[in-house]
A = this chain, B = another copy of it.
Amino acid sequence: MKSPKFILFTVMLYLSCTAGTNKTTTSDSAENTNDLATGTDPLPAWNDGPLKQAVVNYVINATEDANAGFIPVNDRIAVFDNDGTLWSEQPLYFQFFYSFDKIREMAPQHPEWKTKEPFKSILAGDIKSALASGEKGLMSIMGATFSGMTGDAFESSVEQWADTAKHPTTKKKYTEMIYQPMLELLQYLRANGFQTFIVSGGDIDFMRAWTEKLYGIPPQQVIGSSFKVKYDSTGIERLPEFSFLNDGPGKPVGIYRHIGKKPVFAAGNSDGDYQMLQFTGTNTLPHMEIIVHHTDSIREWAYDRGSPIGKLEKGLDDAPKYGWVLIDMKRDWKQIYPFNK
């Protein structure tokens, strides 16, 4: 990327050219996108246009030594939010569905839950009341289902859930509700020497149980919120005490702590990603920041300002100022999930 302003300009141009249609594809831009070294389109689930072209140009420039956009391979660090950026997050972050499923599973061993909130509401299938218990209630749900066991036991439990559990409205497995265009982008970046990391507000170990299988991202490249753990000679024990919130200003902290290097590429979808995008934007190397804007109420969900999950407000307001690229899911993505073929 030559400059954030250049990206912003091409995106604004695209918006004005394509207003009112979802399928505007000039033969020019299609040619450009396909005219890569390999001769094949690296991002087939993305609609052609200046936005896709800007991403492809950024990657091509990053790898060409003589180019002003060149990035040394060790500095090609790309960070991705997870909920709402790599997979869906509605009507509620999927890790809460894991907790609810576990509470139902564990209920026979906890007769006291029949009368104790928020467990009582969860067991009665009244998720709304359970969530109304606020932060304290949510932390007690998380504490009961994310801690008090060994690291190995938690990993196995999440793995088994990921292989089987299904989403309440789509009836698809949660692990099928990942975004095909983002899978392609991860793969495309890696094929060009980028290291891809997840930087999410979700629990670090919850994600690590399946990110390698789903996204090709190994555990050591996953950063998230965490519970305290301790070691004794038998292994790692998960403690019922929250340790680190990897969200908002916590994301640059998590990046500094785990990666120790400023990213050149960042993708997010909500105001929880604001500081991560801002931090990436201060890189002196060529950098790119993108926001997945949920605009497709038919194929996925449409939400931004005022949404209780994945609120995007500050990010929408300040994207032009920072040169952040807004991906309009409805307009820019040909396909949403891998099963939408």
Task: Establish whether residues B253 and A208, one from each chain, have CB atoms under 8 Å apart when the complex forms.
Answer: no
**Does A258 have its Cβ within 8 Å of any Cβ on chain B?**
yes
Q: Which residues of the partner chain B approach A212 to less than 8 Å between Cβ atoms?
A: 74
Shortest Cβ distance from residue A294 to the other chain B in the assembled complex, whole angstroms: 26
**Does A135 have its Cβ within 8 Å of any Cβ on chain B?**
no
Shortest Cβ distance from residue A61 to the other chain B in the assembled complex, whole angstroms: 23
Shortest Cβ distance from residue A333 to the other chain B in the assembled complex, whole angstroms: 30
Task: Establish whether residues A259 and B151, one from each chain, have CB atoms under 8 Å apart when the complex forms.
Answer: no
Contact of A220 (CB < 8 Å), options: B229, B233, B259: B259
Task: Establish whether residues B258 and A231, one from each chain, have CB atoms under 8 Å apart when the complex forms.
Answer: no
Task: Establish whether residues A260 and B219, one from each chain, have CB atoms under 8 Å apart when the complex forms.
Answer: yes
CB-CB under 8 A for A231 and B253, given A74-B212, A74-B218: yes
* CB closest chain-B residue, reference A223: B258
A residues 161-206 in Cβ contact with B at 8 Å: 195, 204-205
CB-CB under 8 A for A249 and B231, given A219-B259, A219-B260: yes
Contact of A231 (CB < 8 Å), options: B232, B259, B279: B279
**Does A136 have its Cβ within 8 Å of any Cβ on chain B?**
no
Task: Establish whether residues A229 and B256, one from each chain, have CB atoms under 8 Å apart when the complex forms.
Answer: yes
Task: Establish whether residues A253 and B233, one from each chain, have CB atoms under 8 Å apart when the complex forms.
Answer: no
- In Å, the complex CA distance between A218 and B197 comes to 15
Task: Establish whether residues B260 and A205, one from each chain, have CB atoms under 8 Å apart when the complex forms.
Answer: yes
Contact of A260 (CB < 8 Å), options: B77, B220, B251, B252: B220
Q: Which residues of the partner chain B approach A47 to less than 8 Å between Cβ atoms?
A: none
Q: Which residues of the partner chain B approach A249 to less than 8 Å between Cβ atoms?
A: 230-232
**Does A226 have its Cβ within 8 Å of any Cβ on chain B?**
yes
A residues 35-82 in Cβ contact with B at 8 Å: 74, 77
Binary contact readout A227-255 vs B (1 if CB under 8 angstroms, 0 otherwise)? 00111110110000000000001111100
A-B pairs, 8 with minimum CB distance? A219-B260, A231-B252, A231-B249, A208-B260, A220-B259, A236-B256, A219-B261, A231-B253
